[in-house]
Structure 1
Amino acid sequence: MKKKNVMGENMEAGTNAESDKKAGTKINKESDAKKSKKFRKEFLSQKQKDTAFLVIKIILVCMFAGAYSMLYIWDLYTFKGKVYPMRIVVPTLLFVSSSALMFVKIKVNRWVNFVISILVSLILIYGNFVMLQKSQGYEYKLEGDYVKYNIMVLFMIFMVIFAVTNSFKVAIITINIVNIVMGLANFYLVQFRNSGFLAADIVNIKTAANVAGGYSYRMNYRVYLFLISSIAICFFATKLGKNVVIKKFWRLIPMALALLMVINVNDLVQSKEYVKILKVKYFKPQETFNTNGFYITFARSINDLQVKKPKDYSVQKVENLAEQFKGTKTTVSNDKKPNIIMIMSEAYTDFMSFADVPLSEDNMPFFHSLKKNTLSGQMFVSVFAGGTASTEFEALTSNSMAYIPNGITAYTTYINSPMTSLASTLKAQGYGGIIAMHPYKGTGYKRNKVYPLLGFNKFLTMDDFAEDTETYGLHISDKADMERIISEYENYKKNNDKPFFMFNVTMQNHSPFDAAGVSKDIKLGYNINAPQAVQYLNMLRKSDDALKELVTYFKNVKEPTLIIFFGDHEPKIEESFYEEIEKDYKLDEIYENLMKRNTQFVIWANYDMKSDNNMYISANRMSSLVLETAGLAQNGYQQFVSEFSKKVPIITKKGYIGEDGNFYKTGDKTSPYYEWIHNYDIIQYNNIFDTKNRVQDLYKIAQ
């Protein structure tokens, strides 16, 4: 039995061993199968990655080819009709070499790559500054420490990117993209509005996009080479090695350095010591870019966006002023309250009113004929060749751009709650309609959101015009615009006896002035090549005809009616034209301080009133002047502006002209009008910025 058991155990052991062997073989086979499957999966995954990267590279090269092709599309290889071979050779070499390199695999020792990355980064920080300055036609060999200041800003940007990404490759590519965006934005803004790119323009980017159509985006060769070179650098940078260069807690070093650079640059642009050194010429910032450099000027403009509380500001002081200015009462009966139609005409400027412009014929004969029952003259504004909403803001709210940070548009930045305006004042006095109209996109300058806050009942945009509405130039014509005013008035009067108010911002004369189908009957006598100026001057004739049609209609309306017509700013046309205007300027010398900052206005009544055709005002005066002319009540703020305007008839962002005929800066404490200027600043700060403590007594209508 024992033997049998032993034999049985041996047989069982043998069977188990054989079973284990088979099981082991099975496990090994399964393991090999899994490894094979995993290998195939990894192989396919890597293959897919390679394919994806190849597709991305091809797309990027195709995009680069599109940018490169602009050399031939725009004939940038020529200058004054002559071909320059190097203008073809240089961008072609950059395009071909960098594109080919995208498809070449390069392996470099880690430490060699590290050293190369550092050297390339340092060279490119300075190189980006030089490329941008040169591409815009600005000086790059700056005096004093200005080069150092610009390098500090660029180094700060680079270190912040590097600290976040831990990659030289990403930092180099990103800072080049930043440089491209800054350069192109500045170039096109100078082309479109004759003013460079500043921090405030970022706030207005949506409005800029709204009016971007119709302009020519042709580059000059300098900007083109800047673009091609920057893209080529990005392509070359992709060949740098491993992304991650610093591990674990050592990353705190670049983070600390980035923070230190941010603090240093912030201290630099905010320091009182550097206020004069880094001061930005906001009316032509490209001059500051040329002397100080683009990046430090842009950084300084960020600091200038801060709203500074007036010295000695307090709510109590505003309340004291409210006690002094309690508003004025209406002087007309309800049945004598006039309809009020206010028109701000896009880029409207009567150059002949302040310069001896040699035209073959009068381009606005009807406007010039409006002498009887009118108030008219020069109206000075704070903007040039753009910034329509700034003039609109002043005219409707009685606020002044003199106290708004440089480059800021109040509509897009500050009006986020109800604010008293001419619209709300008229509504409080029984007016109806209260319609705003702008025959273009309603989102421009956030008008669709701002107008209800100013008290308007309805806002008409281009979407409210029929598709076949007449256009002139690139936009809805002033004729169609004025006809719509008449239509709105007639529709309102079918069911209402209350006086009617409408505010209209035209669009016909918006730049660019290179549209087909515009008459060129009126000739310009200057010996210059200025086709944009010629087209603009001819377009004004159409505006004049439209105004005549509107006035003629209301001459036959029995109800008393006021038509207010004024421009928002001077047009963006050839600088050579403005140079001729300056030679022929005929206003008093004091007004040369506000050159390029004046338009004209007229207030016409279809009833008898005393005329004054030689007035000098600024846009902030418009609301109170309209209310005075109509015999209507003013709130305390509007009354203050009326009294202020007797002492300071003209105030703009550039400065002001007192009743003594002298020009002053708003910060001039030696001015005999400084107390008025300071009080205006205090009231406006309370109205716009300290809204929680807004003194409402200033905005009540006197009963």
Structure 2
Amino acid sequence: MLQKNEKSILSLQWRLQKKSRKWYDWIMPVIAIVLWGLTFFNVNTLKANEQIDYITIAFWMLIGITILAFVKIKFHHIIEIILKVILFALVPFLCMYLIEFCNDNAVFELNQAIILMNYGCYMAVLVLFFGLTGRVKGAYIGTLLFCAIYGLANKFILLFRGTPIVPWDLYSLRTAVSVAGNYEYSIDGAMLITILAFVLAIFFVIQFSHVKVTKKGYCVSFATSMIVLVVTYISLVPTEQLELWGVSRNLWKQENAIQENGVWLNFVDNTKDIALKKPEGYNKKEQEEIFAQYETKELTKKQKKNRPTIIAIMNESFCDMTSWTEGDAVEVNQEPIPFTTSWKKNVIRGNMLVPVFGAGTATTEFEFLTGQSQAFYPSGSVAYQQFIHKETQSLASILKSYGYKTLAMHPYYGNGWSREKVYPLLGFDDFLSIEDLKYQEMMRYYCSDASNYKNIIEEYENRGDDPLFIFNVTMQNHGGYVGDKTNFTHTIKEKNLGEGIVDEYLSLTYESDQALKDLVEYFSEQEDPVVICFFGDHWPKLQTDIYDRMFPGVDEFDRTVRQHTVPFYVWANYDIDARDVGYTSTNYISGFVLEAANLPLDPWHQFLKEMQEKLPAISTVAYVDEDQEIHSMDEESENNEAILELERAQYYYFQDRE
């Protein structure tokens, strides 16, 4: 037994001693052993940083963790009180430093005001846990655990989708969990050091004795924590005050915002955008007068007789990657999407600006179906989960008013992005998810496009007398690229990058291209009129270093625009005004569908058709002006009259119209 002296500054004893053993005394040694193994298997990530000796730091942290895992330290009560007071100030700073470090931010490069505000946010978390637990020790452990999980989760989210955690991600938690198992997870040196540091801090705090508070004391501590949280929140939210202190708002590039403002402060600042706000200069009466000039047109007898079947396919992660990368940075053995690149007969086509990159399928879907622009919603928000709680006009509801049967299809789980709740509000009669579909042949871990399109054909052949509208969201190309560890042959081989996941992704787009070709050939032979709309939802999320090699020498804005550009196609099996429209955006595409189907435009699409002359394309990152010049959606965009006009009209038509 180690020496134990009640009068000494501290006393030591073995943690696994029977007399004083608690449940966590068994867990701590196990955690220590696991961390030794984790460090051993990730030692190469520690060597990757040549400026900092991560290996030495990790070694001494592991020594400290091991000692605390096997040895109990009991401090003299006065020493413990002093340590607790010191830690009350130190724990928030430690959490701030480690989270920023984990997310590749340098705390001391932030200005002093921002550092203090971030510190205040972490202090508020600590006070909240103190109120919830009524114990200083519990507050420390709760804060450290919460911040460790949050910091690591934020880093993984950054790696997978390119943007940090925002408040409204809580709405998408179920969707994220459903696909999380299909990704490969690895940690870098900063993440490993962060894990070790948090565990070391928690193991140290565990040494403190439990000090219970009375019910009265518990109530006082909880009330105090609420006051601190409210005061902190109110003091942080006013935008004008934040700007005076140096906090910048970068709604279109959240990954840049966390570098400028700090991770946790940026999250708190984003809470002000959970609710929609009236646009600047908005006047409801003016909007009513504007839309009074647009009439809701009825179908003519000819239009009613010739209503085509309409099939809209939003293809997961489909883009023309090799056309947008720089020079010969990407060289392939053959064209990845030969059919779509040459698809021109009876096709309206162009380059479509999408609102998201690497993830956020539901946002592109929302823009297409409703004709709204995500540019006027909070950055990173998901309208399906946050803002659609009542019947909302969409392409489905418009076609339904024209006598169409409206069907949504998705070969994955129906609860993703709250689709099963939202689709009826958008005017869909039925929704078929993976549980309802007959053909489910897998490619990797998702239903293949070829199999998916068999389900479309089956629905078409059993459509009945009413015209049919199908909106199909594919899954084949979804993220979770693992290179050669797949169950299909990589048709496309990239020569320069030497990355298996690039071959995998490009080969998936080839399979999508060929499946679409077969679908179009089938409908080309049908006598009844058919319109097919096909577009990608966003670019795939590959590792940043891979994209760096794809875009050598390309400035950040140009690269961002390219990575938000996908092709779109509207085809008919009869003659239409085929053309390449150049740049457009997702919110305008449904108008091209109605045009190809020779159906009347509702007031919103009439307005959008006029807006296209002034504002041919708009997304969350860029817009195209009437001179076909591309501009960033930065502060200057707030003074663009066409953008303001569209923003006010969209708010009125979808939020304020009676």
Same fold (TM over 0.5): yes
Amino acid at match of 2:490: K
CA gap 1:60/1:417 in 2 versus in 1, 3 angstroms: farther
Which residues of 2 match residues 213-292 of structure 1 at below 5 A? 213-244=181-212, 252=220, 255-256=223-224, 259-260=227-228, 262-275=230-243, 277-292=246-261
| Max Rg structure | 1
Which residues of 2 match residues 430-469 of structure 1 at below 5 A? 430-432=403-405, 434-465=406-437, 469=440
Aligned to 2:462, what secondary structure does the other structure show? helix
For residues 306 and 425 of structure 1, the distance between their equivalents in structure 2, rounded to whole angstroms, comes to: 27
Residue 247 of structure 1 deviates from its aligned partner by 8.9
Q: Is 1:677 aligned to 2:651, yes or no?
A: no
Residue 508 of structure 1 deviates from its aligned partner by 0.6
Which residue of 160, 163, 172 maps to 1:204? 172
Q: Is 1:173 aligned to 2:173, yes or no?
A: no
For residues 559 and 145 of structure 2, the distance between their equivalents in structure 1, rounded to whole angstroms, comes to: 41
CA gap 1:463/1:255 in 2 versus in 1, 3 angstroms: same
Would the aligned equivalents of 2:492 and 2:506 in 1 still touch at CA under 8 Å? Answer: yes
CA gap 1:89/1:497 in 2 versus in 1, 3 angstroms: same
Residue 560 of structure 1 deviates from its aligned partner by 0.7
Would the aligned equivalents of 2:65 and 2:203 in 1 still touch at CA under 8 Å? Answer: no
Would the aligned equivalents of 1:363 and 1:540 in 2 still touch at CA under 8 Å? Answer: yes
Which residue of 468, 484, 487 maps to 1:500? 468
For residues 230 and 110 of structure 2, the distance between their equivalents in structure 1, rounded to whole angstroms, comes to: 24
For residues 617 and 383 of structure 2, the distance between their equivalents in structure 1, rounded to whole angstroms, comes to: 20
Q: Is 1:601 aligned to 2:568, yes or no?
A: yes
Would the aligned equivalents of 1:341 and 1:502 in 2 still touch at CA under 8 Å? Answer: yes
Instruction: Please name the residue that 2:527 is paired with.
Output: 558
Q: Is 1:406 aligned to 2:376, yes or no?
A: no
Deviates more, 1:198-207 or 1:635-644: 198-207
CA gap 1:572/1:665 in 2 versus in 1, 3 angstroms: closer
Q: CA RMSD in A?
A: 3.1
For residues 637 and 506 of structure 1, the distance between their equivalents in structure 2, rounded to whole angstroms, comes to: 27
Instruction: Please name the residue that 2:7 is paired with.
Output: none
1:376-433 deviations in Å (ceiling 9; x for gaps): 110001110001100000000011101111110000111111111111111111112x
Would the aligned equivalents of 1:354 and 1:585 in 2 still touch at CA under 8 Å? Answer: no
Instruction: Please name the residue that 1:574 is paired with.
Output: 543
CA gap 1:354/1:377 in 2 versus in 1, 3 angstroms: farther
Aligned to 1:141, what secondary structure does the other structure show? helix
Instruction: Please name the residue that 1:90 is paired with.
Output: 60
Which residues of 2 match residues 36-115 of structure 1 at below 5 A? 54-59=22-27, 61-62=29-30, 65-66=33-34, 68-74=36-42, 79=47, 86=56, 89-101=59-71, 104=72, 106=74, 108-109=76-77, 111-115=78-82
Instruction: Please name the residue that 1:305 is paired with.
Output: 274
Residue 506 of structure 1 deviates from its aligned partner by 0.6
For residues 428 and 651 of structure 1, the distance between their equivalents in structure 2, rounded to whole angstroms, comes to: 28
Q: Is 1:485 aligned to 2:456, yes or no?
A: yes
1:637-678 deviations in Å (ceiling 9; x for gaps): 12111211221110111242121234364865885x61x433
Q: Is 1:472 aligned to 2:443, yes or no?
A: yes
Would the aligned equivalents of 2:397 and 2:428 in 1 still touch at CA under 8 Å? Answer: yes
For residues 448 and 166 of structure 1, the distance between their equivalents in structure 2, rounded to whole angstroms, comes to: 42
Would the aligned equivalents of 2:247 and 2:260 in 1 still touch at CA under 8 Å? Answer: no
Residue 524 of structure 1 deviates from its aligned partner by 2.0
Residue 100 of structure 1 deviates from its aligned partner by 1.5
Aligned to 2:368, what secondary structure does the other structure show? helix
Instruction: Please name the residue that 1:151 is paired with.
Output: 119
Residue 73 of structure 1 deviates from its aligned partner by 4.7
Instruction: Please name the residue that 1:22 is paired with.
Output: none
Would the aligned equivalents of 1:329 and 1:634 in 2 still touch at CA under 8 Å? Answer: no
CA gap 1:479/1:649 in 2 versus in 1, 3 angstroms: same
CA gap 1:457/1:60 in 2 versus in 1, 3 angstroms: farther
Amino acid at match of 2:305: D
Which residues of 2 match residues 605-616 of structure 1 at below 5 A? 605-616=572-583
Which residue of 361, 376, 388 maps to 1:388? 361
Residue 584 of structure 1 deviates from its aligned partner by 8.9
Which residue of 603, 606, 611 maps to 1:644? 611
Would the aligned equivalents of 2:318 and 2:538 in 1 still touch at CA under 8 Å? Answer: yes
Residue 284 of structure 1 deviates from its aligned partner by 4.2
Which residue of 156, 159, 171 maps to 1:191? 159
Paired positions, count: 630
Residue 165 of structure 1 deviates from its aligned partner by 3.3
Residue 246 of structure 1 deviates from its aligned partner by 8.6
Q: Is 1:630 aligned to 2:597, yes or no?
A: yes
CA gap 1:64/1:457 in 2 versus in 1, 3 angstroms: farther
Would the aligned equivalents of 1:393 and 1:410 in 2 still touch at CA under 8 Å? Answer: yes
Amino acid at match of 1:438: H
For residues 476 and 637 of structure 2, the distance between their equivalents in structure 1, rounded to whole angstroms, comes to: 43
Residue 182 of structure 1 deviates from its aligned partner by 1.2
Q: Is 1:373 aligned to 2:346, yes or no?
A: yes
Aligned to 2:399, what secondary structure does the other structure show? helix
Instruction: Please name the residue that 2:393 is paired with.
Output: 420
Aligned to 2:248, what secondary structure does the other structure show? coil
For residues 342 and 508 of structure 2, the distance between their equivalents in structure 1, rounded to whole angstroms, comes to: 18
Q: Is 1:335 aligned to 2:305, yes or no?
A: yes
CA gap 1:196/1:249 in 2 versus in 1, 3 angstroms: closer
> Scaled by the length of structure 2, what TM-score is found?
0.88
Residue 308 of structure 1 deviates from its aligned partner by 1.6
Amino acid at match of 1:238: I
Instruction: Please name the residue that 1:701 is paired with.
Output: none
Residue 681 of structure 1 deviates from its aligned partner by 2.2
Would the aligned equivalents of 1:169 and 1:237 in 2 still touch at CA under 8 Å? Answer: yes
Q: Is 1:686 aligned to 2:652, yes or no?
A: yes
For residues 341 and 334 of structure 1, the distance between their equivalents in structure 2, rounded to whole angstroms, comes to: 18
Aligned to 1:204, what secondary structure does the other structure show? helix
For residues 127 and 270 of structure 2, the distance between their equivalents in structure 1, rounded to whole angstroms, comes to: 21
1:285-342 deviations in Å (ceiling 9; x for gaps): 3333333322212211222334221234344333222202224454643231111000
Aligned to 1:516, what secondary structure does the other structure show? coil
Instruction: Please name the residue that 1:13 is paired with.
Output: none
Aligned to 1:200, what secondary structure does the other structure show? helix
CA gap 1:374/1:457 in 2 versus in 1, 3 angstroms: same
Unaligned runs of 5+ in 2: 1-17
Would the aligned equivalents of 1:65 and 1:95 in 2 still touch at CA under 8 Å? Answer: no
Amino acid at match of 1:627: L
